[in-house]
Amino acid sequence: MEITKELRQLARFTAGAMPVLSVYLDTQWRDQHQWERVATFVTQHVRQARALPLDSDAARASLEHDLARLTQWVDERLRGMAEVNAPGMACFACHAADLWVEFSSPVPFEDEFTIADSPMLRQLARLDEDYTNALLVMVDSRTAHVYEVVLGGLLTEMEFVNDVHGRHKQGGWAQARYQRHVQEQIDRHHKDVAAYIAAYMEPHPHTQLLVSGPPDIVAQFRGWLPPAVQQQIIDTLSLDRHDDRAHILAVAQEAIQRHEREEEQATVQVLLDRAGHGGLAVLGQQDTLTAVNTARVQKLVLQKDFRSDGWCCAHCHYIGDGPTPSQCPVCGGQTTATELGEGMVQAVLQTDGEVEVIVPDERLAAYDGVGALLRYRIS
């Protein structure tokens, strides 16, 4: 499941004066107390939401419809009427604007219940960045299993079996000819598997690739992959084809998450290097906010624990930090309070920028926990 398109559509979603409901849930069931905690969390927030003062009867009716639907949606999952095997779930709703979107996650979300004028997207942005589709290829000289790993689950499996002959007892020239014949069969097998991988990845060029097998076999197999596909290999593993699917998935997830952390660390280093040399990067809350407001951000990078008070203008969409002013200092429009990180995430997505939400990094923490790679600088 690729969520980039849906994420950008949600970032551009507008409902005018109608309330938008955003809910993230940790649905990683450990025992009955876990789902009771989720039920209590939702019930309490639904009760509080129904007591909110709203500007119109239409807004009240829209929110009431969404709260009723949310209550049913959560109850169905807690009571087992709809199977849930995802550790995290999220939904976004605005009945008046015909919005109801659900997502599942391979990792738990942090419980969040928000009513605002737009969807809250920071947690979904992190999911989009961290959980790119991946292929796991378990290959040997005769067989291959290709698993499609989507949002942490094994979605599909393709099996290849080729009739490669075993050892031959003759020696001399006959033995050499036979070994060449066997190698040709192995090469044909690897070529067929590589062709399948390349065909899959052509419309999905950002798919990550994991390869498992004996080192000599993996080296031979990689030689049949196109250079662009080889560049997508993030790790080589040592799995046994008799391993159960749960173990295969766990090892694949660990490798993918390890790669994501390494990429996050590399991104922070790029930020530091470019900003330090006056290049296309900024560090710190103020400079990053200025870049967001001038639509210059190619990639926003912020720590998952970044939180700061802010506000947004409903007319010119200018984002400011600190207490909410009575009117926008830029255009005089109406302002609303917003969490600054959430506001920057939405603004960057609306201008087709990228967002990378990372685990805390002490190097970025020294600059308020936020920075950005830029499209261009202004004098």
pLDDT in tens, 338-352: 999 999 999 999 999
Q: So what's the pLDDT on residue 131? A: 67
Lowest mean pLDDT: which of 46-60, 132-146, 178-192?
Answer: 178-192
Q: So what's the pLDDT on residue 270? A: 96
pLDDT of 73 strictly over 50 = yes
Phi first, then psi: what are they for 320, rounded to 5°? -125, 160
Q: Please give the average per-residue pLDDT across 17-31, as a whole number.
A: 88
pLDDT of 43 strictly over 80 = yes
Q: Calculate the average pLDDT of the chain.
A: 88
pLDDT of 298 strictly over 60 = yes
Domains of the chain: 1-130 (3.30.960.10), 134-242 (3.30.420.60), 262-379 (3.30.1330.30)
Q: So what's the pLDDT on residue 133? A: 78
Closest listed residue to residue 120, CA positions, set 12, 9, 21, 8: 21
pLDDT in tens, 133-174: 789 999 988 888 998 886 556 556 778 777 554 444 444 555
Q: So what's the pLDDT on residue 170? A: 47
Closest listed residue to residue 341, CA positions, set 314, 313, 312: 312
Q: How confident is the model at residue 183 (pLDDT cuts 50, 70, 90)?
A: confident
What does DSSP assign to residue 361? -
pLDDT of 326 strictly over 80 = yes
pLDDT of 269 strictly over 50 = yes
Pairing of strands 143-150, 134-139: antiparallel
pLDDT of 63 strictly over 70 = yes
Choice between 81 and 97, residue whose per-residue pLDDT is larger = 97
Q: Please give the average per-residue pLDDT across 365-374, as a whole number.
A: 97
Question: What angle (nearest 5°) sits at the alpha carbon of residue 26, between those of residues 69 and 263?
Answer: 125
Q: So what's the pLDDT on residue 312? A: 94
pLDDT of 332 strictly over 80 = yes
Can you say whether residue 98 is alpha, beta or left, with left for phi > 0 and alpha for psi between -120 and 50 degrees?
Answer: left
Q: So what's the pLDDT on residue 168? A: 42
Q: Which 3 state secondary structure label does DSSP give 325?
A: coil
Tokens 């639904």 belong to: 46
pLDDT in tens, 242-252: 888 888 888 98
* Distance in angstroms (rounded) separating the CA atoms of residues 292 and 347: 7
Contact 218, 224 (CB under 8 A): no
Q: Please give the average per-residue pLDDT across 197-216, as a whole number.
A: 91
Q: Please give the average per-residue pLDDT across 90-112, as a whole number.
A: 91
Q: So what's the pLDDT on residue 82? A: 47
% of the chain residues with pLDDT over 70: 89
Structure tokens at 111: 């419980």
pLDDT in tens, 102-145: 988 877 899 999 999 899 999 999 887 766 678 999 998 888 89
Lowest mean pLDDT: which of 12-16, 289-293, 333-337, 352-356?
Answer: 12-16
Q: So what's the pLDDT on residue 342? A: 95
* Distance in angstroms (rounded) separating the CA atoms of residues 218 and 237: 10
Query: What residues form DSSP beta bridges with 147?
Result: 136, 157
What does DSSP assign to residue 95? G
Pairing of strands 354-358, 297-303: parallel
Query: In Å, what is the CA distance from 272 to each residue of 18, 276, 301?
Result: 41, 6, 12
Choice between 172 and 31, residue whose per-residue pLDDT is larger = 31
* Distance in angstroms (rounded) separating the CA atoms of residues 69 and 40: 16
